[in-house]
Amino acid sequence: MKRSKIVLGVAVLAVFVPLAQARPKNKIRVECQIFRFAGDAVSKTFADQEIWTTGEAPERLKDKVTVFNRGWFEIGKKRLEFEDGKCFWDKKEFPIKEPGKVALPHENITLAYSPALVMEEHDSATLEIGSKLPIQYFVRRKDGLFELKETELPTGLDIKIEAKEEEDRGNIVLEDMVMTLRSVDRREKIPGVNLSVGRPILGEQEYRFFLRVKPGKDYGILIRPEHGRGRLLIRLRASSTYSDTFREDDGKDKSTQ
């Protein structure tokens, strides 16, 4: 009887050890392209699937953030469009890699950042994007005249993401995605001057998302900053090794095929 127990234990070990070693850890990549609109472009957006994983967040961010998987933004005579899980500019697919090859009308829209984060499932990753933005402003001198000055402020963007995959439902869940935006949100007032030309003051705005997305598909996040003009548009794409949409930096992009 004792021998049979040993044989059984060896058999079980022989079956389960190879299975535990057969599958590598799931790697998840989250890529973003962050566009800044100079004004309020004519637009229309739709959500044809349940993207938010909680009802609390969209209600709290109402009138500030719109998440969608289909829509368009009219810029001059051209469109930036989200359709069939892809992003297009002027009816041509906008590349997730080397976006600089596409000429955008910078007076209306600019591609501000193109960050990408890679993590193992259930881990978190953080990306900090900093820039020194030179900004001009006026100060009143003792003689009553105004002097033009310039300063640099540490504007930028921080993104922290924790992700997992729902293989049975074919989704990647961004369990906690926090985006912190640092930008000029107001100016110091100059007594007797109605124009907003005083020293710039840096502000910080935090946005927290809980999203469920399809691997390799493009989604849009439209943000209306509390201060300042224009809007931010985030093109977001998540991919994974388990869904066979993940690509290494020097590999072929399979995520939209």
The answer to whether residue 248 is domain-embedded is no
Q: What is the pLDDT of residues 220-253, one digit of tens each?
A: 999 887 765 568 899 999 999 999 998 766 334 3
Mean pLDDT on 1-8:
36
d(CA 209, CA 203): 20
How much helix, strand and coil, in percent to the nearest 5, is found in the chain?
Answer: 10, 50, 35
Please check whether residue 31 lies inside any domain of the structure.
Answer: yes
Is residue 12 one of the residues assigned to a domain? no
Residue 252 lies in a domain: no
Domain membership of residue 255 (yes or no) is no
Residue 6 belongs to some domain of the structure: no
Find where tokens 């910080």 sit: 204
**pLDDT tens column, 45-92:** 988 888 888 766 677 777 788 899 999 999 888 999 999 999 999 999
Residue with tokens 């900090």: 128
Q: Is residue 199 part of a domain?
A: yes
Q: Is residue 202 part of a domain?
A: yes
Predicted confidence band of residue 127 (pLDDT cuts 50, 70, 90): confident
The total number of structural domains that make up the chain: 1
Burial class (CB in 10 A: 0-12, 13-18, 19+), 96: buried
pLDDT value, residue 229: 58
pLDDT at position 12 is 39
Condensed to tens digits (0 to 9), the pLDDT of residues 159-215 reads 899 999 887 788 999 988 888 888 888 899 999 899 989 999 988 888 888 899 999
pLDDT tens sequence across 11-48 = 334 444 454 455 688 999 999 999 988 877 788 898 88
Q: Say which amino acid occupies 250.
A: D
| Average confidence (pLDDT) over 119-124 | 90
Confidence (pLDDT) at 14: 41
Separation CA 234–CA 111 (nearest Å): 10
Which residues constitute the domain of residue 207? 25-240
